[in-house]
Structure 1
Amino acid sequence: MQRSWKTIFKYTLNLFLGVCLVLGMLISESAAASNKTEDKKAIILILDEVSLEEMLNSNTPNIDLLLENGAIGLMNTRAKSSLSNRGSTYLSLGMGVRTLASTQGGLAFERDKMYPLSDYNLVSEYVTVSDLYKLYTGETPPDGEIINVAIGDIKRTALDITPNNQVGLLGKIAKEKGLVIGVAGNSDLNAPSREVTMLAMDENGVIPFGSIGSDLLTSDADVLGGIKLNQKKLLDEVERILPNIDILFIDYGDTARIQKTDRLTTDSVREEQKIKAIERADSFFGQVINKVDLEKTLFMVITPNPSRETVKQGNFALTPIIISGPNIEKGLVTSNTTRREGLVTNFDFGPTILNFFGITEYKSFIGEPMQAVGNENSIQTLLSNQTKFLYLRKYRSVFHWSFITLIGITLVGFYLPRFTKWKGLPDKVLNHLSLTIMAVPLTMMTISLLGYKSIILDLIYVFGGAFIIAYILNKIFNQNLLTMAILGLATSIFLLIDIYFVEKLMIISPLGSDAIAGGRFYGIGNDYMGILLGSTLLGVFSLFHLYKINKSIMAVFTTSYMFLVMIALSPFFGANMGGTLSAMLITLLTLLTIFDKKFSLKKIILIVMGVLVGIIVLAAFDASFNPNPTHGGKALESLITGGWSKFFEIISSKLGQVFWNLIHASWNIILFSQIILTVLLYRRKNTVLMKIRESYPNLFKGFIVILLGGVAVFSFNDTGTIAAALILTYLFIPLGMLLNDV
């Protein structure tokens, strides 16, 4: 009887476990089905190598329909490659990081077809794509209609330059979440050109459904290159795979084929051919639109690579993007990656698609989902923005070199007579040049309010306006040091107002960010970060000297003001982690200097360690409580998930940028001059410097902090050359003026 109870208990337990297993399977299947989110679909039309103007000037009623119910913008598609390697932009879109693709990345084929091995310098006549894949990778390809046989070289090339990232990230996450991807079309001309597969594939180089073969093409003597897509055949394939997939990429490669064959054509013929190709794509897209539920479909039109013509104009990265679908209002696209209306990045592409399907676990991507901002004049606004971006890209170096020249002349005028027999420039000239330099950051910020019209007029405004401002202030206060203090504080306050409230002027300043290069899209850049720290320290310490403020009040005021600066530079506003770290260190150094505490190696090490802990805490708050973490929070997340290898990747990348800028940046001329001046002045320690220390004790303390701050800024920022040169300008220009006075 006892055995029977044990037997009953055993069978009951097994039955219970079996029921739990079945329920678990049902729940997991239900969760997978919920990821499908009621037959939602995302359809992405790829029109490669077209410009915004070409798209807008074409007769495209179906794309126009998307614009009436959606948003348009410019997407920064920059990758780590030359413009000739068009596959890198596709791979970057799929990985969510700027990377480099294999030049063979377009070698993708349909699994069930045979291909001649002789095309790949082998011996046998024909072989299946699966055999090719196994030959190149040593593995049997997983199930899927499309196989990229170059996956091994793609991984080797991409991960060599961007380690600790995932090739095929979008396809991998989609597969894990139960979403099925399909691809149709190609950009073939004289050889397979199926780079679109690098965007859609998973980590194995496989795409579940698709049709990308040469049988999709048809001959046409009226088209450049002699071939184009067969719309009927392509539509048949789309109809075949559409019921089985959630995400469809359509590579309408006619636009790319025209760019490959336009070298012998006139500009007018090329433009006409491009317009006709766009209109054919629009006609085909309209047929696809009619086959899906508009209430459940996300539509996107993207251009991974810019046209050759836009590249000649200086735009090598910004391409048009259109997005339309449920809950997307008419207007301009944006994202929390850029925080700019009408501008997004290739980092945002994957998160946007995944977010549409309700998938929020996309932290492997560094981008954020795109959103729409209402704007009834979206086209005009976008064209205006593009004009500004191109203008700044073209003339940015002119503004910088003009500023560098002005600073260089002033430094030579102040310091060369100290070490040579040259009498130098008149003091009055040098004083006016000095005050003008202090006012230039203000005019550089406000130039965008007048619009960028003519480089000559803009230069006159920036430098002539700065001279007038400095001249008027000097006439009013009749004291160089007071005028300099007012200009320093005015610059600092103006920058803080822009960071906290305006969030615009610095970004589109010649000293601001470059939307085309895409190094930074919002917050304060390293140029203005150096200016903010330098102008703050000069203004504050000048006032302390002028008004004989005691040490305690000086410490409270400085700490309070620097706290505002640190918050402005922090991930929540300025998104400049190097600047935040520098500001923290400068604040602590300032307090030590105010209370005449001697510096020692131990103190400096403790200060640096404390600042690093503060930065980690700040990044942790950013990652934990900020719904859209900035680079600092995401970097900490990457360190946690990627371990020490990710840490060393970030460090090596930053060091590489530091050394590149140290060698190539135009501002290194000023920085090297300032380093030489520091060494010469320190070695001499002449009585003139001692007099300045005695006559301007508080201001001299400020000079010491600015000098140490320059070291910190250079150490903690990848473009620290520029920031250090600018912060040290607020030391050597005022010091030169005081040396002349003494």
Structure 2
Amino acid sequence: MEKSLKKAFKDIFKWTLVLCIILSMPISKSLAASSNIEDRKAIILILDKVSIEEIFNSNTPNMDILLENGAMGFMNIRAKSSLANRGSTYLSLGMGVRTLAPSEGALAFQTSDGKIVNTGIKDIEETALDVTPNNQVGLLGKIAKENGIVVGLIGSSDLDTLAREATMLAMDENGVIPFGYIDSDLLISDDDVLGGSRLNQERLLEEAESILPDIDILFIEYGDTVRIETTDEITTKEIREEQKIKVIEGADLFLGQVMEKVDLEKTLFMVITPNPSSETISRGNFGLTPIIMSGPNTQRGLLTSSTTRREGLVTNFDFGPTVLGFFGISEPRSFIGESMTVVDNNNPEKVLLKNQDQNLYLRKYRSYFHKSFIILIGITLIGFYLPRLTGWNKLPNDILHYLSITVMIVPLMMMTVSLTGYKSIIFDLIYVFGGSLIISYILNKIFNEKLVIIAILALVTSGLLLIDIFFVKKLMIISPLGSDAIAGGRFYGIGNDYMGILLGSTILSFFVLFHLCNSTKYIMTISITSYMILVTISLSPFFGANMGGTLAAILSILMIVLVMFDKRLSLKKIAFIVVGAILGILLLAKLDSLFNPNPTHAGKALEALMIGGWSKFFEIIGSKLRQVLWNLINSSWNIILFSEVVLCGLLYRHKNMLMELKERYSNLYKGFVTILLCSIAIFSFNDTGTIGTALALTYLFVPLGVVINDNSIL
């Protein structure tokens, strides 16, 4: 029997791994250039501090021409700085990593031989590499130079002081841009514009014409948008917006003049906004700005990339690989981003505005959903445990049953609330929590056995999450328990919130079913191990891209086998399990790196470790530990996690109760132990594991409360 069990495990692992590799091979329409790259040019127009609405409200016939055979989207431009530090976003674009720039980064000057030199290069390196070590300042310019691609920059955002942050995007590792012109004599006085100065378009065009024959990549910093945004003059919002639109229309006119000077069949055009406008920030969007791209191989649609896997969304990580990829330069080891691709869409403007509204809604109201869920779980735990541990009067059984089932329905309702279109916060809260309570009432009326309801809900939750990961790939991402596109912590896959729910609900559902069906330990072990392998694949880099969750799932499989066969968990066995899980993770990351055309952050992290060695390892560990500490201090879910930890200690003191529970509910008790061990793994191997751990433990303490309450064990 044991040999057949081992053979079954080997067969399951072999075929699931083969399926995993096959299904993970993405097919996309690349923006990369064809093999013929002679005489190609890239023109990048920088319109900083503008919103997508301002672009849409402007008369921009030349940008419209680009969009007829090009794509548009939002670019996440987050950097490691406050919103006041405009230069960090430019430096991040050039380095392909979220970094920090000093104020000296705006100091750049023209040399007598026509080059541009950023004199703050030493300060830039010291600041950037302090927060993001093992990276390269001026990476885009450096790789371009090494491959014979010549870069040029014209224009600046100068007003009362030097504002030449765009040089940090175009420069090489020495702070040098081979061609360009950024001096203040590009400006002319104009009392009719805010700030009193604007670009001299004729002079700017002359500079562009003079260097175009000698360069391959031309950056144009059309700084008038910044000058209007940063002026201290007292004026109305309407006047400011009116002037901004005039500037955008002027920039579009200049873009059209440049388009006449190049071969459109061999030129990549991009319009980027490294920093959001003040009006955009006031609405809560501090991380997403518009981006336009059009080239020889593009079509009308929405921009996306393997970094985000979201239609209409890319990141600043993707900028460098896209520009270099147009020239046939592939640098997967240098950049963590991927070249942008296009998804066909005939009405990208409508989609982007809808996505922006949704992102702003979630950004504004996400905490309402979380705090309401926290309160609901807290009331449920208090209702179950406080009376039994203190002797106080307890709530009526019916209320406790409704509360417990409602808690387990909420994650499902959170996943589907986006289908209603996020009407209003009142409507959506009623939908999630009122709907959960109504379903709880109905289920309690239909089923007498509460564990049957728990098993059904846990299994449905687990199944729906897997369906979303493998096929839908949307519900969790735009759920209130999902990711925040503006903050940019995660763009695809499964976040730690739903990861904790997935592992907790999966383990609970099977062990409750085992209790109800009274199956043999061999059938139980094969069943849950097979399903957990599927869960592990769903969390792996190929699909869910949650490395901490993958590690926790692998650990859970090994612990399930030990628990099912009543093996004691010694330190030696725990160490063996952890080492085995880590080796499994490394194997998955290596497979991701080798077989995935666009590796996830897991595969790239392994590549970075191979190149960077121990210094890169300690950089990653340090970043993760800082994130863990931040969450322990700031996360609202700490109150639930702390309560659950206290409950663990209090229940451990009632050993007689635990022994009675183990004797009367042997299979269920094993499930509770497994969830507890899995939760420890979730917390240990995730930088934002606080929420995931709290939610996973909810699938322990809520069902345990039901069992204790119904059977008066304590």
Relative to the length of structure 2, the TM-score reads 0.94
| Structure 1 residue 535 displacement after superposition | 0.4
| Structure 1 residue 424 displacement after superposition | 2.6
Correspondence for 2:657 among 668, 683, 688: 688
Matched, 1:620 2:620: no
The 3-state SS of whatever aligns with 1:105 is: helix
| Structure 1 residue 262 displacement after superposition | 5.3
- Equivalent-residue separation in structure 2 for 1:453 and 1:101 (angstroms): 40
State the superposition RMSD in angstroms. 1.1
Tell me what 2:392 maps to: 422
Q: Which has the higher contact order (CA 8 A, sep 6+)?
A: 2
Query: Contact conserved, 2:137 with 2:173, CA < 8 A, in 1?
Result: yes
Deviation per residue, 1:604-654 (Å, 9 max, x gap): 001100111111111111111111100110000000111110011001101
Matched, 1:393 2:356: no
Query: Contact conserved, 1:186 with 1:193, CA < 8 A, in 2?
Result: yes
- Equivalent-residue separation in structure 1 for 2:282 and 2:371 (angstroms): 23
- Equivalent-residue separation in structure 1 for 2:423 and 2:62 (angstroms): 35
Tell me what 1:707 maps to: 676
Correspondence for 2:701 among 717, 721, 732: 732
The 3-state SS of whatever aligns with 2:117 is: strand
- Equivalent-residue separation in structure 1 for 2:147 and 2:394 (angstroms): 72
For 1:555, the aligned partner's letter is T
Tell me what 1:371 maps to: 341
Unaligned runs of at least 5 residues, structure 1: 1-33, 113-142
The 3-state SS of whatever aligns with 1:202 is: coil
- Equivalent-residue separation in structure 1 for 2:440 and 2:73 (angstroms): 40
| Structure 1 residue 53 displacement after superposition | 0.3
- Equivalent-residue separation in structure 2 for 1:383 and 1:547 (angstroms): 51
| Structure 1 residue 406 displacement after superposition | 0.2
For 2:487, the aligned partner's letter is A
How do residues 472-621 of structure 1 correspond to structure 2 at under 5 angstroms?
A: 472-621=442-591
Tell me what 2:17 maps to: none
The 3-state SS of whatever aligns with 1:732 is: helix
- Equivalent-residue separation in structure 1 for 2:359 and 2:580 (angstroms): 40
- Equivalent-residue separation in structure 1 for 2:436 and 2:545 (angstroms): 28
Deviation per residue, 1:109-161 (Å, 9 max, x gap): 1012xxxxxxxxxxxxxxxxxxxxxxxxxxxxxx8700000000000000000
| Structure 1 residue 416 displacement after superposition | 1.1
Query: Contact conserved, 1:541 with 1:698, CA < 8 A, in 2?
Result: yes
Tell me what 1:634 maps to: 604
Deviation per residue, 1:455-479 (Å, 9 max, x gap): 0000000011112222222322221
Tell me what 1:8 maps to: none
For 1:728, the aligned partner's letter is L
Deviation per residue, 1:296-342 (Å, 9 max, x gap): 00000000000011111110010000000111010100000000000
- Equivalent-residue separation in structure 1 for 2:668 and 2:252 (angstroms): 67
Matched, 1:76 2:45: no
- Equivalent-residue separation in structure 1 for 2:519 and 2:167 (angstroms): 67
For 1:283, the aligned partner's letter is L
- Equivalent-residue separation in structure 1 for 2:212 and 2:42 (angstroms): 11
Report % sequence identity: 70
- Equivalent-residue separation in structure 2 for 1:272 and 1:181 (angstroms): 34
Structure 1 runs, 4 residues or longer, greater than 6 Å off: none
How do residues 204-215 of structure 1 correspond to structure 2 at under 5 angstroms?
A: 204-215=174-185
Correspondence for 2:199 among 223, 229, 247: 229
- Equivalent-residue separation in structure 1 for 2:88 and 2:243 (angstroms): 26
| Structure 1 residue 417 displacement after superposition | 1.1
Unaligned runs of at least 5 residues, structure 2: 1-33
Tell me what 1:647 maps to: 617
- Equivalent-residue separation in structure 1 for 2:447 and 2:86 (angstroms): 59
| Structure 1 residue 35 displacement after superposition | 9.6
Tell me what 1:276 maps to: 246
- Equivalent-residue separation in structure 2 for 1:434 and 1:144 (angstroms): 72
For 1:637, the aligned partner's letter is E
Tell me what 2:294 maps to: 324
Tell me what 2:12 maps to: none
| Structure 1 residue 263 displacement after superposition | 5.6
Moved more, 93-102 or 467-476: 467-476
- Equivalent-residue separation in structure 1 for 2:219 and 2:316 (angstroms): 16
The 3-state SS of whatever aligns with 2:353 is: helix
Query: Contact conserved, 1:71 with 1:331, CA < 8 A, in 2?
Result: yes
The 3-state SS of whatever aligns with 1:249 is: strand
Tell me what 2:21 maps to: none
Query: Contact conserved, 1:35 with 1:178, CA < 8 A, in 2?
Result: no
Moved more, 205-214 or 471-480: 471-480
Query: Contact conserved, 1:538 with 1:702, CA < 8 A, in 2?
Result: yes
How do residues 45-84 of structure 1 correspond to structure 2 at under 5 angstroms?
A: 45-84=45-84
The 3-state SS of whatever aligns with 1:270 is: helix
- Equivalent-residue separation in structure 1 for 2:570 and 2:256 (angstroms): 72
- Equivalent-residue separation in structure 2 for 1:161 and 1:288 (angstroms): 38
Relative to the length of structure 1, the TM-score reads 0.90
- Equivalent-residue separation in structure 2 for 1:297 and 1:441 (angstroms): 48
The 3-state SS of whatever aligns with 1:399 is: helix
For 1:227, the aligned partner's letter is S
- Equivalent-residue separation in structure 2 for 1:424 and 1:265 (angstroms): 62
| Structure 1 residue 293 displacement after superposition | 0.3
Query: Contact conserved, 2:410 with 2:432, CA < 8 A, in 1?
Result: yes
The 3-state SS of whatever aligns with 2:44 is: strand
Query: Contact conserved, 2:151 with 2:215, CA < 8 A, in 1?
Result: yes
Deviation per residue, 1:209-229 (Å, 9 max, x gap): 010000100000000000000
For 1:719, the aligned partner's letter is T
- Equivalent-residue separation in structure 2 for 1:464 and 1:418 (angstroms): 28
- Equivalent-residue separation in structure 1 for 2:331 and 2:476 (angstroms): 33
Query: Contact conserved, 1:639 with 1:647, CA < 8 A, in 2?
Result: yes
Q: 1:35 to 1:251 in 2, by over 3 A?
A: farther
Correspondence for 2:209 among 231, 236, 239: 239
For 1:463, the aligned partner's letter is F
| Structure 1 residue 279 displacement after superposition | 0.8
Deviation per residue, 1:155-194 (Å, 9 max, x gap): 0000000000000000000000110000000000111100
- Equivalent-residue separation in structure 1 for 2:535 and 2:508 (angstroms): 14
Tell me what 1:309 maps to: 279
For 1:706, the aligned partner's letter is I
- Equivalent-residue separation in structure 2 for 1:550 and 1:616 (angstroms): 34
- Equivalent-residue separation in structure 1 for 2:446 and 2:382 (angstroms): 28
Query: Contact conserved, 1:36 with 1:179, CA < 8 A, in 2?
Result: no
Correspondence for 1:409 among 352, 363, 379: 379
For 2:613, the aligned partner's letter is G
- Equivalent-residue separation in structure 1 for 2:706 and 2:114 (angstroms): 73
Tell me what 2:101 maps to: 101
- Equivalent-residue separation in structure 1 for 2:228 and 2:418 (angstroms): 38
Size of the alignment, in residue pairs?
A: 678
The 3-state SS of whatever aligns with 2:104 is: coil
Query: Contact conserved, 1:35 with 1:357, CA < 8 A, in 2?
Result: no
- Equivalent-residue separation in structure 1 for 2:146 and 2:591 (angstroms): 29
- Equivalent-residue separation in structure 2 for 1:78 and 1:264 (angstroms): 30
Tell me what 2:25 maps to: none
Tell me what 1:140 maps to: none
The 3-state SS of whatever aligns with 1:320 is: strand
For 1:41, the aligned partner's letter is K
Moved more, 334-343 or 426-435: 426-435
Matched, 1:217 2:181: no
How do residues 258-273 of structure 1 correspond to structure 2 at under 5 angstroms?
A: 258-261=228-231, 264-273=234-243
- Equivalent-residue separation in structure 1 for 2:214 and 2:674 (angstroms): 65
- Equivalent-residue separation in structure 2 for 1:322 and 1:263 (angstroms): 31
| Structure 1 residue 738 displacement after superposition | 1.1
Rg larger in structure: 1
Correspondence for 2:689 among 701, 713, 720: 720
Matched, 1:441 2:399: no
- Equivalent-residue separation in structure 2 for 1:598 and 1:650 (angstroms): 34
Tell me what 1:26 maps to: none
- Equivalent-residue separation in structure 1 for 2:53 and 2:134 (angstroms): 38
Tell me what 2:123 maps to: 153
